[in-house]
Structure 1
């Protein structure tokens, strides 16, 4: 794809800048970090992590704590300090490292309605 085509595609997406309220809400959630241990069930807090899976309301399991955390500074900043297991779009469970600040403990009341989600599959690739 040529640069002009890419820029036109981005323009057509009509991405709006974040509002002050959105940024403040993100900061409040980012500052609250829960303590996890292997075996804990977790889910996304505040709806978006930058990861494709799990989605909000979907459970994942903490497989291990990564100490010291792995820090990535190229592209999006990441401080990955947990390994989690999550069900992918093809029905298999897979593991990846993640930043625990984007997660909270999972409760069954947050469970996603799988019938409703059938029309909106996860975007993650395995």
Structure 2
């Protein structure tokens, strides 16, 4: 399997409630509510609406997300992204036009969450 190959796809018009565990990469273009846990990449498409707790290796967001995000590698917010919630990640990439309402905790790669600082000086 190629590094950027999508393993699963929840297309537009689909709704899913529950827990999602995966390896590799998953793309969501529909509605998802629940928990996601993976060391892989979660891609949330422009038309997607996601609500819940995400613990992933990498998040690539183009759609709407409300919840808590913990990414071990990085979070990428494309210009159409709208994230309402808190992010904990060592790397954050934000395109002009993206919306982020919440708190951010960042650490250097390899450091634990306890060593992270946040934009407002508090840990969450």
Task: Identify the TM-score tier after normalising by the shorter chain.
Answer: under 0.3
Give the structure-2-normalised TM-score. Answer: 0.27
Greater RCO structure (CA 8 Å; 6+ sep)? 1
- Report the structure, 1 or 2, having the larger strand content: 2
- Rg: which structure is higher? 1
